[in-house]
Amino acid sequence: MSNHDWSRAMRAIWLLNTIEVELSHLGIPVLRVPPTLRDLGDVFAQGTMSEQDRQLIEDELTRAHAILAQVVGELQEGMTQIESLLQKQPMTLITEDVAESTRSVVWQKL
């Protein structure tokens, strides 16, 4: 392979490596999500909070859900493309960059 092609290949590999490293760091807080949300469920179930407080928390959960859903969607697209490469199948997905306006907040700051 030429130097140029190796550079292109390594650009993809280092990108995936960066994601792996970042996800491994993120993994520890992610593990805490289910039990922490179960705790929050208990607070909801007690029914001691005002409607206003409940609405504040629900707004935060809605926002978090939207951001996570978008990130998961973008990662899912990357996984599908990796699978295509491994199976040596022709790319069937649109390979254009995700438009700035539709990127998750996580990517927008980049």
Partner 1 sequence: MAEIMTAREAVERYIKTGTQVCWGGFSYTRRPFTITREVIRQRDRIQHHFCTMNGGASVEEALAANDLVSRMETTYVGLEGIQPVAYSIRRRIQDGSIPLFEDYSNYGYAARTIAGRFGWPFAPMMAELGSDIPEYDTFGKAGLRGKNADGSWIDPRIPPKKFAVIDDPFDGWGLRPHAFDGGDTTANKTNAIDRTRESDKYTGNKGVKVLLVPPVLPEVTVIRAQRVAIDGTVRMEGILGPDAEQAMCAKVLIVECEQIVPSDELRATPELNHLPAHITTAIVEQPFGGYPSAVPNYYDYDWDWFVSYGRLNRKSKEEVKEWWTKHVVDTKDDWDYLQRIVGMNRLFELRATPGYGYRADLKRPM
Q: Which residues bind partner 1 (CB under 8 A)?
A: 24-25, 27-29, 32, 52-53, 56, 59-60, 67, 105-106, 108-109
Q: How far is the CB of 102 from partner 1 (least distance, A)?
A: 15
CB of 1 to partner 1, least distance (A): 34
Task: Give whichever of 27 and 90 is closer to partner 1, judged by the CB atom.
Answer: 27
The residue among 29 and 47 lying less far from partner 1, judged by its C-beta, is: 29
Torsion sign over Cα 80, 84, 89, 91: positive
Q: H/E/C letters for each residue in the chain? A: CCHHHHHHHHHHHHHHHHHHHHHHHHHHHHHCHHHHHHHHHHHHHHCCCCHHHHHHHHHHHHHHHHHHHHHHHHHHHHHHHHHHHHCCCCCCCCCCCCCHHHCCHHHHCC
- Residue 35 or 90: the one with the smaller Cβ distance to partner 1 is 35
We find the least distance from the C-beta atom of residue 92 to partner 1, in angstroms, to be 32
- Closest approach of Cβ 89 to partner 1, in Å? 35
Please say which residue, 3 or 52, places its beta carbon nearer to partner 1. 52
